[in-house]
Structure 1
Amino acid sequence: MSLTSEDRVAETERILGLIRKGTDQVVGEDDLREKLLQGRTLVVKLGLDPTAPDIHLGHTVVLRKMKLLQDLGHQVVIIIGDFTGKIGDPSGKSKTRVQLTDEEVRRNAATYFEQVFRVLDREKTQIKYNSEWLGKLSLSDSLAMAACVTVARMLERDDFKNRFESGTPIGIHEFMYPLLQARDSIALEADIEVGGTDQTFNLLMGRTLQKSFGQSPQAVITLPLLAGTDGVLKMSKSLGNYIGISEPARVMFQKVMSIPDHLIIRYFELVTDETPEAIAAVQTRLDAGANPRDEKLTLARTITRLYWSENETAEAERFFRETFSLGILPQDVPLLSIQSLEESEILQAIKRSTAISTSELRRMLDQSGIQVNGEKVTSLGSCESGDILKVGKKKFFKLDLRA
């Protein structure tokens, strides 16, 4: 049954509400509304700079928005910047980036594919390499693009402005990066481009160039950067405040439970597929005095279920409840292989498995921050093979003496 004009308007506003969820801004929303009202399949673009990150929940903020648009029936296209990757995105950089080789770009792109398709539908996702069209540009083509933007406009960009004012060199090729990324939008005739707030300048350049080339400008959806488990800094593997999407279900569940209460709603908005209405219901319960821990359990289930099966998620919750809520000593934990039962050997093995420094482990031991079989100790001199060690609040190991 065909929709009436009133129904189509209502459905379009519902979709826009889903698109707006968790976004920083939607530029060109009126144009996007018109395109949605037409009922046609839109081209949704995501550019990836092939630097081979291990994808964590912070990266999935953009990917989940792409998945929403994909589920709504639109064509998702991932652009692997094999051409632009040789330049290096200057966003947020205080100096010129080292250019990648062809081999590095290919290897890194393969790493992306392994992880991205844990979020996106592989069968419904197009993959393009921007060397397909950028490698064919003539000097005249490049000059025509450069003529669309002034140097003053480029220097409005904070990283360029700061480097210019401090006397730090800026390569002319770096000015070309946002123009080349914008050229990707022209090649695809993109209707929507999605990215983090740190990509705003590049994404808006796509609109500028499309207008100059007579195309309908893409809508730009920018999404905020996700705070890590510390609740303060941007999620980053180097800072240790990350939740990896390939981490075991138990680890993922426990890490979600460790986030500060004030991030519960933010995580629901940015890294789950829950509707705005469902998230509003969580906020209402919290405002009415609900225990944040209960809502966080729901969040942990929701996130873990996105990457693991129902059974694996249930087992992760059981492990969390028994270990961290009921204090039951877990048995199914990673083995800590040691060559002797000397305290120094055990500490070195813990250091290798946790990256905690020897001095910090010594301090933890002195302050009873390490437990053996559920008992606080200040020495590891009486440990035996098979003992369960708890290091800090979250890490468990079973001693495994190798002959």
Structure 2
Amino acid sequence: MTLDEQVAYLTKGAEETIRAEELRARLERSAKTGKPLRAYLGVDPTAPDLHLGHTVVIRKLKHFQDLGHTAIFLIGDFSAMIGDPTGQSETRPPLSREQVDANARTYLDQVFKILDPQKTEVRYNSEWLGKMSSYEVVRLCGHYRLARMLEREDFRSRLDKNLPIAVHELLYPLLTAYDAVMLQSDVELGATEQKFNLLVHREIQREYGLPSETILTMPILVGLDGAKKMSKSLGNTVGIAEAPAEMFGKLMSISDDLMWRYYLLLTDSSQPEIQSMKDSVSGNRAHPMDLKKHLARLVVADFHGEQGATQAQADWEAQFQEEALPSNIETRASSSLAPIKLFRLLTNLGLTENNSLAQRKVKEGAVSMSVGESDPPNWQRLTDPAWEIDPRKYPIVIFKVGRRMMKVRFQD
């Protein structure tokens, strides 16, 4: 690759590059000296499972690895016990050492579905943060000003509302900045919401006599609902450890507009290639569903291989595009014949975890119903979560919530 091509490859999809000219100069110097750049991503293991939203920045680290640079995956096993205050309206409850260790054990298996384990430098920030003396912590704190720390939006918001800020929260960006010092990083990657912390890292590196790292921030991935960030608590995620068919089906449920964002952030398709696909759709030379299938195949293949992706597509087409009912469809009998609101019925049947999620799924258009046992089903999308179903009128119905189907028989 030429220098321009390298810069384009490494910054593709990035929200911001701080400082872009530094990155270019570093790449040029690396090519001349043969010394690879040290690029790192720090992740606090606060939960055991990763989803596609987490992979956006991990994929960017893989891009540096692809070009021969040193990819450092830093597990924040020490910083996770403090808790990142970014975006928090209140102090995070601390995680125990046992919780952090259990979560960290699952991370590498998942991360190595993207990164090459033979070419990845794995580090834990307890290696140095767990050994810092009181003097070293005080010295670190002396390199930053409280007024600057309180400029960050989440702290300022809490002050305005007279909400407490714990002292250990102020230490978080300083301690993670010390990670950058110890790793002597040239480039650090992070989500756009981490920008304040990352800027602190640059400044602390400089205070310790090191060149300030270049920062690449990556955008937050919007979840399957197309409205909010991908988050397990919102039920709009695709987990990277999920079965191929489950991943494929979820990706086929996204909107056509969101598809382009996923192509940009979750695949290696270049921006000109993505624009060409867009033009094909707008010019009626390609159907959005075909391109969505291609997207789903690419993503599933990353985690389950080509064979897994091929089978997942075949399963989806047999079940949804051809609308055939699976032979082993889940069946449930209900002895209640009293009319019941749709959202309550979905929860009672176990198709949703709670009434709130049931209402949201219906409003998002993720719930369909077919009356009787016709195959293929006669699907009707349900839009009113408060709609009352009369079992005497509909003795047999088939529900579809996302990819899950269930046949329900109402009987005395």
The alignment's TM-score, normalised by the length of structure 1, stands at 0.85
Cα deviation, 1:254-312, whole Å, max 9, x if unaligned, reads 21111111112110111112223322322332343343222212211111111123222
- 2:134 pairs with 1:143: no
Distance 1:68 1:297 in 2: 24
Distance 1:371 1:323 in 2: 17
1:220 maps to: 215
- 2:12 pairs with 1:21: yes
Give SS of 2:80's match: helix
2:233 maps to: 238
Pairwise CA distance, 1:106? 0.9
Match of 2:325 among 303, 326, 329: 329
Distance 2:356 2:255 in 1: 28
Give SS of 1:47's match: strand
Change (3 A) 1:254 1:161: same
Match of 2:183 among 176, 184, 188: 188
The aligned runs of 1:1-16 (5 Å cut-off) are 11-16=2-7
- 2:50 pairs with 1:55: yes
Give SS of 1:245's match: coil
Change (3 A) 1:368 1:151: closer
Give SS of 1:37's match: helix
1:45 maps to: 40
Q: State which drifts further: 135-144 or 83-92.
A: 135-144
Pairwise CA distance, 1:151? 1.4
Change (3 A) 1:167 1:32: same
Cα deviation, 1:83-121, whole Å, max 9, x if unaligned, reads 212211111111112222222221111122232222222
Give SS of 2:209's match: coil
1:160 maps to: 155
- 2:303 pairs with 1:316: no
Unaligned runs of 5+ in 1: 1-9
Cα deviation, 1:128-147, whole Å, max 9, x if unaligned, reads 11121112223332222222
Unaligned runs of 5+ in 2: 338-344, 379-388
1:169 maps to: 164
Distance 2:407 2:369 in 1: 16
1:31 maps to: 22
2:400 maps to: 391
The alignment's TM-score, normalised by the length of structure 2, stands at 0.83
Pairwise CA distance, 1:359? 12
Given residue 75 of structure 2, which amino acid in structure 1 is its aligned partner? I
Change (3 A) 1:399 1:126: farther
Match of 1:77 among 52, 72, 75: 72
1:248 maps to: 243
1:261 maps to: 256
Distance 1:174 1:82 in 2: 16
Distance 1:399 1:162 in 2: 49
Q: State which drifts further: 203-212 or 239-248.
A: 239-248
1:7 maps to: none
Cα deviation, 1:7-57, whole Å, max 9, x if unaligned, reads xxx712111101111110010221221111122211111111121242111
Give SS of 1:26's match: strand
Change (3 A) 1:356 1:84: closer
Contact 1:368 1:378 in 2 (8 A): no
Change (3 A) 1:277 1:331: same
- 2:281 pairs with 1:286: yes
Distance 1:330 1:170 in 2: 54
Contact 1:82 1:131 in 2 (8 A): yes
Distance 1:151 1:296 in 2: 49
Distance 1:24 1:323 in 2: 38
Distance 1:25 1:394 in 2: 36
Give SS of 2:73's match: strand
The aligned runs of 1:305-384 (5 Å cut-off) are 305-331=301-327, 335=330, 341-343=333-335, 351-352=349-350, 354-355=352-353, 357=355, 369-374=369-374, 379=391
Distance 2:302 2:407 in 1: 30
- 2:82 pairs with 1:91: no
Change (3 A) 1:100 1:295: same
Change (3 A) 1:240 1:307: same
Pairwise CA distance, 1:368? 7.9
Change (3 A) 1:162 1:76: same
Distance 2:398 2:201 in 1: 54
1:205 maps to: 200
Distance 2:368 2:71 in 1: 52
Contact 2:334 2:408 in 1 (8 A): no
Distance 1:398 1:212 in 2: 65
